């Protein structure tokens, strides 16, 4: 059934060279031009594929990066992953994506070193850095994306500042009452301090400006369901010209829909800011906060690769500023 595998020795014999030479061809060692050509030809002719395990066992590099991520549902996170992947590909690394879809999977990762011993670097995306405390032993370099830590390199966004920016923006409008639509995270591995931070920045700025902001002005929503119709209607009609800060664009979309059915115009009858700058928000004219997707992935990759290549390099923490995209809803 299983025909004998073609090994490097077969190639060497067929090409009339030693195994060392074939290995050197494979690993860009120095080999004379025509010898290399001959070997390459033989490899192709025999359909030889190097054995990954043997290669690694013998001390070769895996050129693999482990990417730990939560169970994401948003396009935002997938896009970060994509840009990250794109970047490491340029350096001929491959990423193994490890989604934390269950407690069991988390435990398996922590207790089973095989995944970790196989890679040269680890990316932890959008997951509470507590994981680093746990019994999580890595001696490969680690980079956090969208989280902050001073134990390893990271790229993150200042969510508190994001909240402040939104508040300051809304303060320039003629607003009677300020709201925030908030939700706690759906996934246990995401300790979602992000939204909390946004709220804090928002609230503090409003209060500093002498505005009222009490708990009742924070509207709690289920993450996947969003705020209910009644909640939205109440906000929109309780006072004239309310200002609403939705923690995600999705929540803002619901507000827009309800407003439209009761004949209220955004930017006039009420003011609305989202978060994420999802692709559809442009068409919808939603004012929102942009998170630098491309840069997140790209910079994360760079930080990791630089430390893989030179582990002596110091860790770096890079903060990206949140960016307000002003559109029609404010």
Partner DNA sequence: TGTTATAATGGAAGCGTTTCCACGACATAA
Partner DNA sequence: TTATGTCGTGGAAACGCTTCCATTATAACA
Of 45 and 86, the one with the shorter C-beta distance to DNA is: 45
Question: CA distances (Å), 50 to each of 95, 147, 213, 239, in order?
Answer: 19, 38, 64, 70
The dihedral of CA 255, 261, 266, 271: what is its sign?
negative
Residue 78 interacts with a copy of itself (CB under 8 A): yes or no = yes
Residue 234 interacts with a copy of itself (CB under 8 A): yes or no = no
Binds DNA by CB under 7 A, chosen from 3, 44, 47, 58: 58
Residue 299: partners with Cβ closer than 8 Å, 6 or more residues away: 155, 318, 320
Half-sphere exposure of 96 (CA within 13 A, CB side): 16
Question: Of DNA, a copy of itself, none, which one sits near residue 82, judging by CB under 5 to 8 A according to partner kind?
Answer: a copy of itself
Of 62 and 74, the one with the shorter C-beta distance to DNA is: 62
Binds a copy of itself by CB under 8 A, chosen from 130, 134, 208, 222: 222
Residue 108 interacts with a copy of itself (CB under 8 A): yes or no = yes
Instruction: Give CA torsion, residues 66, 70, 71, 73, to 10 deg.
Output: -110
Region of residue 269 (left: phi > 0; alpha: psi -120 to 50; beta: else): alpha
Q: Which stretch binds DNA (CB under 7 A): 6-14, 111-119, 136-144, 193-201?
A: 6-14
For residue 268, give the nearest of 242, 287, 230 by alpha carbon: 242
Question: Of DNA, a copy of itself, none, which one sits near residue 20, judging by CB under 5 to 8 A according to partner kind?
Answer: DNA
Q: Are 264 and 236 a contacting pair, CB within 8 Å?
A: yes
Residue 112: partners with Cβ closer than 8 Å, 6 or more residues away: none
Question: Of DNA, a copy of itself, none, which one sits near residue 267, judging by CB under 5 to 8 A according to partner kind?
Answer: none
Residue 30 interacts with a copy of itself (CB under 8 A): yes or no = no
Question: CA distances (Å), 182 to each of 52, 205, 281, in order?
Answer: 48, 17, 19
What the block records as the tokens of 281 is 């928000």
Residue 24 interacts with DNA (CB under 7 A): yes or no = yes
Residue 1 interacts with DNA (CB under 7 A): yes or no = no
DSSP summary character for residue 217:
G
Residue 51 interacts with DNA (CB under 7 A): yes or no = yes
Residue 269 interacts with a copy of itself (CB under 8 A): yes or no = no
**Which residues are at the interface with DNA (CB under 7 A)?**
4-5, 7-9, 16-24, 26-27, 29-32, 35-36, 48-51, 54-55, 57-60
**Which residues are at the interface with a copy of itself (CB under 8 A)?**
2, 49, 51-54, 56-57, 71-75, 78, 81-82, 85-86, 89, 94, 96-99, 101-102, 104-105, 108, 112-114, 117-118, 139, 222, 224-225, 229, 233, 253-254, 257-258, 260-262, 278-280
């Amino acid at each position: 059934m299983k025909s004998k595998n073609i090994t490097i020795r077969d190639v060497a014999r067929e090409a009339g060279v030693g195994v060392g030479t074939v290995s050197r061809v494979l690993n860009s060692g120095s080999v004379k031009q025509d010898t290399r050509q001959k070997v390459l030809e033989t490899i192709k002719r025999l359909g030889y594929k190097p054995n990954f395990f043997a290669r690694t066992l013998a001390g070769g590099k895996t050129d693999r990066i482990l990417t730990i991520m939560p169970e994401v549902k948003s396009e935002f996170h997938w896009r970060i992953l994509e840009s990250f992947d794109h970047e490491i590909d340029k350096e001929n690394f491959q990423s193994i994506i490890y989604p934390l879809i269950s407690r069991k999977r988390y435990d398996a990762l922590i207790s089973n070193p095989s995944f970790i011993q196989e890679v040269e670097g680890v990316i932890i995306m959008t997951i509470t850095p507590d994981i680093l405390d746990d019994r999580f032993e890595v001696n490969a370099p680690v980079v956090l994306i969208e989280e902050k830590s001073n134990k390893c390199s990271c790229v993150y966004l200042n969510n508190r500042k994001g909240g402040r920016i939104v508040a300051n923006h809304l303060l320039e409008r003629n607003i009677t009452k300020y709201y925030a639509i908030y939700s706690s995270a759906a996934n246990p591995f995401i300790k979602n301090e992000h939204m909390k931070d946004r709220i804090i920045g928002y609230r503090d700025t409003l209060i500093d400006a002498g505005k009222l902001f009490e708990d009742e002005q924070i509207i709690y929503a289920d993450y996947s369901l969003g705020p209910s119709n009644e909640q939205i209607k109440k906000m929109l009609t309780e006072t004239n010209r309310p200002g609403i800060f939705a923690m995600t664009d999705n929540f803002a979309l619901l507000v827009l829909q309800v407003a439209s059915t009761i004949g209220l115009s955004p930017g006039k009858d009420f003011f609305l800011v989202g978060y994420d700058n999802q692709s559809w928000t442009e068409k919808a004219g939603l004012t929102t906060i942009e998170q630098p997707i491309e840069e997140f992935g790209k910079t994360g990759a760079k930080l990791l690769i630089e430390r893989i290549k030179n582990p002596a390099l110091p860790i770096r923490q890079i903060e990206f500023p949140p960016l307000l995209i002003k559109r029609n809803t404010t």
